[in-house]
């Protein structure tokens, strides 16, 4: 049996008539940027999240960059974040000119260890940028308390966490801003690049709407230094359709995660925050012989990946930050042991069982 890490075509086949019709509708209309599809999607996504506003953008990375800039963060400021994430989380901080300040993760949850955040706060700290890693909610309630106590802004990286909740509230709606990616492989994925921001602040919404469109409110009059970062009409139309299926798809991911948790013997699994519900963008297990396990699974037809093999503070691009191995031991240790198993809504029970029985036969 061949089991791919992800199979987007299966999802497309499920919704093909709706998607094809929507894409055709946009092309027939010949209106591609900042039109009614985007307005519809932004309203629908805000409704789904329980946020007042959402702003459609070109990518999750842009959402993080514009979000930080809209809060006035730039050179001379420090932003506290996790070294255990996709690189874009920290790229956004350095793109604004601010300095990333890493706080190690809790090895059981893989989330930024909120009990270590206060010790990292200085006079220059302006914001906290926590990540809901793997689609599982971080302890954002406690992080908000710390932020309020120290008058810091919070931008949530919910780029893997569309629909995840903490105490019934969608992640990405706790902080000043929540950021999302609609990269094709995400739980809510476009047919190209896409991203978005959620906020309850009209002021930030107005500012971000200008910033994504060359800093203009009125054509050719530029109040802000903006960029070009807009979710296009075709992507917005695709995402509006897919949003109707997101809860159902996330439920199936949760079913598969439960099967893994109950079926895999001798493994520890990502610990959830109390009151948290994951949307299971990624499902990881740890193994001392991670590379051996991956090779064995690959030889038996199962594709796996590593999210992510190198912690951000040790990436070559950040060598000037001056971190050495041992700086954030929990993140570093996890990077050497984790492997991500296939988890997508269209996986069959037979495929899930095959992954489980193969892993249970692997010596560890
Ligand atoms: C995907 C992702 C991003 C970046 O999103 P893009 O749309 O690819 O730019 C940022 N942070 C995390 C945690 C992600 O998984």
Provide mean pLDDT across the span 183-211.
Answer: 98
Q: Which atom of ligand 1 is nearest to the CA of 193?
A: 7
Rounded Cα gap, residues 174 and 182, in angstroms = 20
> For residue range 261-276, what is the model confidence (pLDDT) as tens digits?
999 999 999 999 999 9
Q: Which atom of ligand 1 is nearest to the CA of 62?
A: 9
* pLDDT over 90, % of the chain: 99
Q: Which of 136, 178, 181 to mutate to test the pocket of ligand 1 (most atoms within 8 A of CB)?
A: 181
CA of 288 to the centre of ligand 1 (A): 28
CA of 326 to the centre of ligand 1 (A): 26
Rounded Cα gap, residues 247 and 243, in angstroms = 8
CA of 90 to the centre of ligand 1 (A): 11
Residue 77 near residue 99 (C-beta atoms within 8 A): yes
Provide mean pLDDT across the span 306-315.
Answer: 98
Rounded Cα gap, residues 118 and 121, in angstroms = 5
> For residue range 211-248, what is the model confidence (pLDDT) as tens digits?
999 999 999 999 989 999 999 999 999 999 999 999 99
- Which residues are CB-contacts of 123 (< 8 A; sequence separation ≥ 6)? none
Among protein residues, the one with the nearest Cα to ligand 1's atom 6 is 60
Nearest to 302 by CA among 336, 340, 254, 269: 340
CA of 363 to the centre of ligand 1 (A): 34
Provide mean pLDDT across the span 341-346.
Answer: 98
Rounded Cα gap, residues 50 and 44, in angstroms = 10
Q: Which atom of ligand 1 is nearest to the CA of 131?
A: 13
Q: Which residues line ligand 1 (CB under 6 A)?
A: 59-61, 85-86, 88-89, 131, 157, 159-160, 181, 183, 193, 195
* Backbone φ and ψ of 358, nearest 5°: -65, -50
Rounded Cα gap, residues 135 and 189, in angstroms = 14
CA of 88 to the centre of ligand 1 (A): 6
**What average pLDDT does the structure give for the chain?**
98
CA of 132 to the centre of ligand 1 (A): 11
Residue 312 near residue 88 (C-beta atoms within 8 A): no
pLDDT at residue number 277: 98
Query: With bands split at pLDDT 50, 70 and 90, how would you rate the model's confidence at 364?
Result: low
Q: Which atom of ligand 1 is nearest to the CA of 160?
A: 15
pLDDT at residue number 180: 99
> For residue range 74-116, what is the model confidence (pLDDT) as tens digits?
999 999 999 999 999 999 999 999 999 999 999 999 999 999 9
- Which residues are CB-contacts of 62 (< 8 A; sequence separation ≥ 6)? 195, 212, 227, 229
pLDDT at 363 over 80: no
Nearest to 166 by CA among 142, 199, 145: 142
Q: Which atom of ligand 1 is nearest to the CA of 186?
A: 1
Rounded Cα gap, residues 167 and 277, in angstroms = 8
Q: DSSP letter at 166? A: E
CA of 219 to the centre of ligand 1 (A): 30
């Amino acid at each position: 049996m061949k089991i791919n890490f992800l199979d987007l075509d299966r999802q497309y086949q499920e919704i093909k008539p709706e998607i094809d019709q929507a894409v055709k509708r946009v092309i027939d209309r010949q209106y591609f940027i900042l039109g009614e599809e985007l307005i519809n999607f932004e309203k629908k996504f805000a409704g789904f999240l329980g946020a007042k506003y959402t702003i459609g953008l070109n990518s999750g990375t842009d959402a993080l960059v514009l979000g930080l800039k809209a809060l006035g963060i730039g050179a001379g400021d420090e932003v506290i974040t996790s070294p255990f994430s996709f690189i874009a989380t920290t790229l956004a901080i350095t793109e604004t000119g601010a300095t990333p300040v890493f706080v190690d993760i809790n090895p059981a949850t893989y989330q930024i260890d909120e009990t270590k955040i206060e010790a990292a706060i200085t006079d220059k700290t302006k914001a906290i940028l926590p990540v809901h890693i793997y689609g599982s909610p971080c302890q954002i309630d406690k992080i908000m308390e710390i932020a309020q106590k120290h008058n810091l802004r919070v931008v949530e990286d919910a780029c893997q966490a569309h629909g995840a909740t903490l105490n019934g509230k969608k992640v990405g709606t706790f902080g000043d801003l929540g950021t999302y990616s609609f990269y094709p492989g995400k739980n809510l994925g476009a047919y190209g690049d896409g991203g978005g921001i959620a906020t309850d602040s009209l002021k930030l919404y107005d500012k971000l709407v200008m910033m994504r469109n060359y800093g203009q409110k009125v054509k050719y009059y530029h109040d802000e230094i903006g960029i070009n970062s807009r979710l296009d009409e075709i992507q917005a139309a695709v995402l509006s359709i897919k949003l109707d299926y997101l809860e159902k798809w996330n439920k199936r991911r949760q079913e598969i995660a439960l099967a893994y948790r109950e079926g895999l013997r001798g493994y520890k699994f990502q610990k959830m925050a109390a009151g948290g519900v994951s949307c299971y963008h990624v499902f990881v297990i740890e193994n001392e012989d991670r590379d051996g396990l991956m090779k064995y699974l690959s030889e038996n037809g199962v594709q796996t990946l590593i999210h992510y093999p190198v912690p951000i503070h040790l990436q070559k691009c950040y060598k000037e930050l001056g971190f050495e191995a041992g700086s954030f031991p929990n993140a570093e240790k996890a990077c050497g042991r984790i492997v991500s198993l296939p988890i997508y809504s269209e996986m069959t029970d037979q495929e899930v069982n095959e992954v489980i029985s193969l892993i249970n036969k692997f010596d560890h």
